[in-house]
Amino acid sequence: MLIDSHCHLDYWSDAELPALLDRAAAEDVREMVTIGTTLAQSATALRLAENFPNVWCTIGVHPHHAAQAPVPEVETLVEMTRPARVIGIGESGLDYFYDKAPREVQQASFRRHIRAAREADLPLAIHARDADDDIAAILEEEHRDGDFAFLLHCFSSSRRLAETGVALGGYVSFSGILTFPKSDELRAIARDLPADRLLVETDAPYLAPVPHRGRRNEPAWVARAAEVLAGVRGLSPAELAELTTGNFRRLFRKAA
């Protein structure tokens, strides 16, 4: 069984979702996590998770949206994790590629999400784009106040950030980017990281893998990323599925 550890199911209509879930099941993708990107949208993610027994969710504010409303208080985020179907916080982090929010606001939001993850004892899904040094520095600084679980989602950053994250106890999730022809360096990172820190995801509807480039990505296609990850690790698809599902259960303990 595969688990899509990060997708955005709110991009599909309620009428489309049953067929999407059927296509995922046909690829043995039995569970998925739909992600919070604003506080209001996080309520939609929770509704989807409560309506479909194989869907989990997280709550949080994406760095693109960090300046659209006041940065949420730690207590607000923690309270929003109370429902049983909420298994994590995020996605939060830093995005200096699009810079849709001032960097100081992104950083403040990121730190509050980290502190909420620590207080709620739930993992944080981290978005990192063109901000490796500041992501690593904030992770290291915040760890001085206590451990917290986290996942570097849709990883496409530097080896240094991957290794820093793992050294701090984090996990790394690989998406369809792993299948792209020019992703040799990323495949080498995926090959070398500790086996017990690896997850797979789609980030659907974005980043459709080969051979589906140009189409709307969906959870069924996490199997394509898993095939490539299995190949670079020297594992069979079944072994890779067992490995990543076990890692998912260990990280997202509420979904066990």
Domains identified in the chain, total number: 1
Instruction: List the chain pLDDT tens, one digit each, 256 residues.
Output: 999 999 999 999 999 999 999 999 999 999 999 999 999 999 999 999 999 999 999 999 999 999 999 999 999 999 999 999 999 999 999 999 999 999 999 999 999 999 999 999 999 999 999 999 999 999 999 999 999 999 999 999 999 999 999 999 999 999 999 999 999 999 999 999 999 999 999 999 999 999 999 999 999 999 999 999 999 999 999 999 999 999 999 999 999 8
Closest by CA position to 238, among listed 250, 253, 220, 223: 223
Residue 7's H or E segment, with its range, is strand 2-7
Ramachandran area for residue 127 (φ above 0: left; ψ -120 to 50: alpha; else beta): beta
Q: Whole-angstrom distance between the N-terminal and C-terminal Cα of the chain?
A: 14
Q: What is the pLDDT of residue 256?
A: 85
Strand order in the sheet with 124-129: 2-7, 29-34, 55-59, 86-95, 124-129, 150-152, 171-174, 198-200
Please tell me the distance from the alpha carbon of residue 236 to that of residue 245, in angstroms, as a whole number. Answer: 14
Closest by CA position to 166, among listed 186, 195, 138: 195
Q: What is the pLDDT of residue 60?
A: 98
Contacts of 85 (CB under 8 A, 6+ apart): 46, 49, 50, 55, 56, 57
Task: Give the CATH number of the domain where residue 131 resides.
Answer: 3.20.20.140
Q: What share of the chain is helix, strand, coil (3-state, %, to 5)?
A: 50, 15, 35
Domain containing 160: what range?
Answer: 2-255
